[in-house]
Amino acid sequence: MALQVTPAPPTVGAARVEVVVKDEAGAPARGGTLSLEGNMSHPGMRPSFADCQELTPGHYQGSLALTMAGDWLIEVDASFPDGHRARRTFPVPGVRPAP
């Protein structure tokens, strides 16, 4: 599983989050249901949530609100028709203030 946030470097506001998921054989993992949860690295902030759409096989995209500058952690929760489930957290450090 790989994750990319746009714009890069990320800024406060809506961020496009792209997730590429492959199975153990390296083939695109199709038909998954992916949800995103963004948390800041410090307490006291409400997390952001978003669902992803599958754009092409194994390539998912969602829009997540990054509400404050600083370090974020984005957790991807993926489940697939064959029953597989994967959860992974990606650090997104240094989100900049809105320009």
> Which is it for strands 33-40 and 48-51: parallel, antiparallel or unpaired?
antiparallel
Find the binder of other proteins among 13, 47, 59, 79 (CB under 8 A).
Answer: 47
- Least Å distance between CB 41 and other proteins? 4
For 98, which DSSP code?
Answer: P
| Piece of 13-21, 43-51, 57-65, 78-86 that binds other proteins (CB under 8 A) | 43-51
- 49 lies in the binding site for other proteins (CB under 8 A): yes
- Determine the Cα–Cα distance for residues 73 and 11; give it in Å rounded to an integer: 14
| Piece of 16-24, 28-36, 42-50, 53-61 that binds other proteins (CB under 8 A) | 42-50
Q: How many residues are listed for the chain in this entry?
A: 99
Find the binder of other proteins among 9, 31, 57, 81 (CB under 8 A).
Answer: 9
Amino acid at 22: K
